[in-house]
Amino acid sequence: MAKTGKVGFEQALERLEAIVEEMSSNELTLETRLKRFEEGVTLVRECAKQLEGAAKRVEVLVKGSGAKGETRLFDEVRERLREAAGGDYAVSGDDAPGEAA
């Protein structure tokens, strides 16, 4: 996949599925597998950023509607994003060192 800027969420998921399928075969060289892995990590991070942005937008809408206690879903989403990115992705609301909570 050519790196031509921001990839749509659905397109990135489709490419991730294709990468998983490719890597499941025994036909790729080690170098090709490493390239696919690198591409996959980049796509996962982009998806995580897009999901975080969507979560923020929904959270703003929920808070603006006066609903309370509806952000638990986003705490779960944040944890899944962190796991998907291998713990290498900080999302808003994290208590990262050196940042105000």
Residue 78: the pLDDT is: 72
Residue 93: the pLDDT is: 52
Rounded CA gap, 36 and 55, in Å?
28
pLDDT in tens, 68-83: 555 666 677 777 777 7
* Closest C-alpha among 83, 77, 76 to residue 53: 77
pLDDT in tens, 27-52: 999 999 999 999 999 999 999 999 88
Count Cα atoms within 13 angstroms, Cβ side, for 71. Answer: 17
Token pair listed for 73: 């879903």
Please name the residue that has the structure tokens 């060289």: 29
**Domain limits of the chain?**
9-84
Instruction: Please classify residue 81 by burial: count the beta carbons closer than 10 Å to its beta carbon, then call 0-12 exposed, 13-18 middle and 19+ buried.
Output: buried
Helix, strand and coil content of the chain, in percent to the nearest 5, comes to 65, 0, 35
